[in-house]
């Protein structure tokens, strides 16, 4: 499957916020106004977030193919105008069985909300959706890794009921669209949540 992207778009302007609503052009947005849905092929360029994640273009295409085969779940959350403002990618089965075993344990391996939309409850809203979906699919546990230096994400996951269960070296690599291989060393905490104790 050949997947093509348009050229990178310029960065979008920063949004202003008022109370727990997002305010732009005098429109206020409630969490219920946001749409959570699975990624479509047409969404792939939007996953790059105006070039910020351009380096993961090939990975996004591979993940989309994996999603079509039922190995992963790729969720996005969109603002009323259609802008993709958050992503949650879930592996249902992994070679690392303590992460995802295809039966009762799933692994959230990518979870992000655009910086202009953070601290508005959107991350918690998206994670609750993902957990509810996994619970309906029969999964009892959710695992994730969080970079040890990402204290804000660590606080969020703890607030959502995740507990640190161990440490991971966080060594991985990816090939960017120019063919350059990048090696990442991102020590991480492994976290776990029991979905049966929640809900």
Check residue 6 and give its pLDDT.
37
CA angle at 169 for the pair 167 and 173, rounded to the nearest 5° = 140
Token duo for residue 79: 């603002």
Report whether pLDDT(7) > 50.
Answer: no
HEC profile of 170-199: CEEEEECCCCCEEEEECCEEEEEEEHHHCC
Neighbouring residues of 29: CB distance < 8 A, sequence distance ≥ 6: 21, 22, 23, 79, 80
Nearest to 145 by CA among 112, 111, 109: 109
**Average pLDDT, stretch 49-70?**
94
Say yes or no to pLDDT of 4 above 70.
Answer: no
Domains of the chain, by residue range, sit at 16-197
What pLDDT is attached to residue 198? 53
How far is it, in rounded angstroms, from Cα 8 to Cα 174? Answer: 20
Q: Which two tokens stand for residue 68?
A: 């079509």
At 28, the pLDDT band (50, 70, 90 cuts) reads low
What's the pLDDT score for residue 5? 35
Lowest mean pLDDT among 4-8, 52-56, 131-135: 4-8
The band of 197, judged by pLDDT with boundaries at 50, 70 and 90, is confident
CATH superfamily of the domain spanning 16-197: Gcn5-related N-acetyltransferase (GNAT) (3.40.630.30)
State if pTM tops 0.85: no
């Amino acid at each position: 499957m050949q997947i093509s992207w348009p050229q990178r778009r310029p960065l979008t302007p920063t949004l202003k916020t008022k109370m727990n609503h997002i305010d732009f052009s005098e429109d206020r947005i409630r969490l219920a106004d946001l749409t959570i849905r699975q990624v479509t092929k047409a969404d792939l360029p939007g996953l790059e977030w105006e070039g910020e994640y351009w380096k993961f273009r090939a990975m996004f295409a591979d993940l989309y193919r994996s999603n079509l085969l039922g190995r992963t779940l790729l969720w996005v959350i969109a603002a009323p105008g259609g802008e993709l403002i958050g992503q949650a990618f879930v592996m249902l089965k992994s070679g690392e069985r303590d992460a995802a075993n295809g039966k009762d344990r799933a692994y959230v391996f990518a979870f992000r909300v655009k910086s202009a939309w953070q601290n508005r409850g959107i991350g918690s809203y998206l994670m609750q959706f993902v957990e509810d979906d996994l619970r309906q699919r029969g999964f009892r546990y959710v695992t994730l890794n969080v970079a040890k230096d990402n204290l804000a994400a660590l606080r969020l996951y703890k607030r959502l009921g995740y507990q640190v269960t161990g440490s991971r070296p966080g060594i991985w690599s990816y090939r960017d669209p120019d063919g350059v291989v990048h090696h990442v060393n991102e020590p991480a905490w492994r976290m776990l949540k029991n979905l049966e104790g929640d809900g």
